[in-house]
């Protein structure tokens, strides 16, 4: 799984809370959370507690393509101390099961 954590503000506990918030957002077709599925490529929390997230989808034709980034944003905004959340979609690299956690791979049958 490739997940690039950057905590410019140095608050590791806050980063853990963000990770848990990401685990509350599930792909509605696969029923696995976006973190374990490997859809989050990068997360950065800067010194002003603003969060930038780069994520992907399982497919560019995902039926909730317009909704899932909003769900991610809303989940992270609930973390105490977070000011703003910016979520950007990227399809590089292309999603594949190797990006998912071992548990998610097992659930997917890989």
Encode the chain (110 residues) as per-residue pLDDT tens digits: 456 666 777 788 898 999 999 999 999 988 999 999 999 999 999 999 999 999 999 888 888 888 999 999 999 999 999 999 999 999 988 887 778 888 787 777 77
Specify the residue for token string 């799984």. 1
Across the chain, which distance is largest between two alpha carbons, in Å? 41
Length of the chain: 110
Q: What pLDDT is stored for residue 8 in this prediction?
A: 77
List of residues 6+ apart from 51 with CB closer than 8 A: 18, 43, 44, 45, 76, 82, 84, 85, 86
Q: Enter the pTM of the model.
A: 0.87
- Fold for 4-108, please state it: GMP Synthetase; Chain A, domain 3 (3.30.300)
Cα 72 to its chain centre, rounded Å, is 7
Cα 77 to its chain centre, rounded Å, is 13
Q: What pLDDT is stored for residue 1 in this prediction?
A: 45
């Amino acid at each position: 799984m490739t997940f690039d954590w950057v905590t410019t503000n140095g608050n590791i506990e806050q980063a853990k809370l963000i990770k848990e918030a990401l685990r509350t957002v599930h792909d509605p077709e696969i029923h696995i959370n976006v973190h374990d599925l490997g859809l989050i490529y990068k997360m950065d929390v800067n010194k002003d507690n603003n969060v930038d997230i780069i994520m992907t989808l399982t497919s560019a034709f995902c039926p909730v393509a317009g909704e899932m980034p909003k769900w991610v944003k809303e989940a992270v905004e609930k973390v105490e101390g977070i000011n703003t959340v910016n979520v950007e979609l990227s399809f590089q690299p292309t999603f594949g099961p190797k990006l998912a956690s071992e548990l998610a791979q097992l659930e997917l049958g890989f």
